[in-house]
Amino acid sequence: MKSNELDIIPAKIEEIKDGDTLQVRPKKGNGFREIEWLRLRGVDTPEQSHNDKAERELDRAELHKRTFYNLGRKATAKTTELVEGRKLFLHCERREGVDPPYLYHNRFRLLAYVTLDSPDGADLGEQLIRMGYALVWPRGNSSPRYTHPRIEHYLSACNRARKEQEGLWTKGLDIIGNKPDAIKNCSCELSKYRPTVRPDV
């Protein structure tokens, strides 16, 4: 399928499922469904509740389940804080020969960048990464389906957040008292959720 330039579509926020998944109402007349589930392109936040993805990540992570889900709740709260009361602009990759004519993740979730307040406003995904509430997605996956034009820029933001111990990269998150938990890894390219010290819960 042929890919074209990004279309920029105004949208209203309807619901926030988690840190990287939103329900939005795109402006009418662009081939979208009335309500779309949107996955932030290039971004991955911890899950805040049980699902198949959470189980897979928990199998690889060195984190207690409660700690893992609390990280997800913090990421969701940060996304909510960033988008509340703001205008959204979806930067969508148009695809020919499909309906709706845009790039989707698993056919059900629109895959798009989101900027705030204006088409050239702050990139929501980059903000979450730079503030330490999200990792770059994909990690260790070179499939052309998931690579995207901003991945190097996002990796730079991720490495800077990790170096400066921003957000969820810090030790001593207050999510389960004073236990020293963190997302801490050697590389943003291959990161997984892992604490510095395993909590005794």
Tallying the residues shown for the chain, one arrives at 201
Q: What is the pLDDT of residues 10-37, one digit of tens each?
A: 999 999 999 999 999 999 988 899 999 9
123 falls within a domain: yes
Highest mean pLDDT among 4-8, 24-28, 55-59, 71-75: 24-28
Domain range for 75 is 3-176
In sequence order, the 6+-apart residues with CB closer than 8 A to the CB of 77 are: none
Q: Is residue 200 part of a domain?
A: no
**Is residue 188, in this structure, part of any structural domain at all?**
no
For 132: left if phi > 0, alpha if psi spans -120 to 50, otherwise beta; the answer is left
User: Per-residue pLDDT tens for 93-141?
Assistant: 988 888 878 888 876 899 999 999 999 999 999 999 999 998 888 765 5
Q: Is residue 83 part of a domain?
A: yes
Q: What pLDDT is recorded for position 18?
A: 94
Placement of tokens 């309500």 in the chain: 35
Report yes or no: 10 and 87 within 8 Å, Cβ to Cβ: yes
90 falls within a domain: yes
Give me the CATH number covering residue 141: 2.40.50.90
Backbone angles phi and psi of 5, in degrees to 5: -65, 165
What's the pTM? 0.82
Task: For the beta carbon of residue 166, count every other beta carbon within 10 angstroms.
Answer: 17
**Residue 15 included in any domain:** yes
Question: How many domains, in total, are found in the chain?
Answer: 1
Residue 85 located in a structural domain: yes
Whether 18 maps to a domain, the answer reads yes
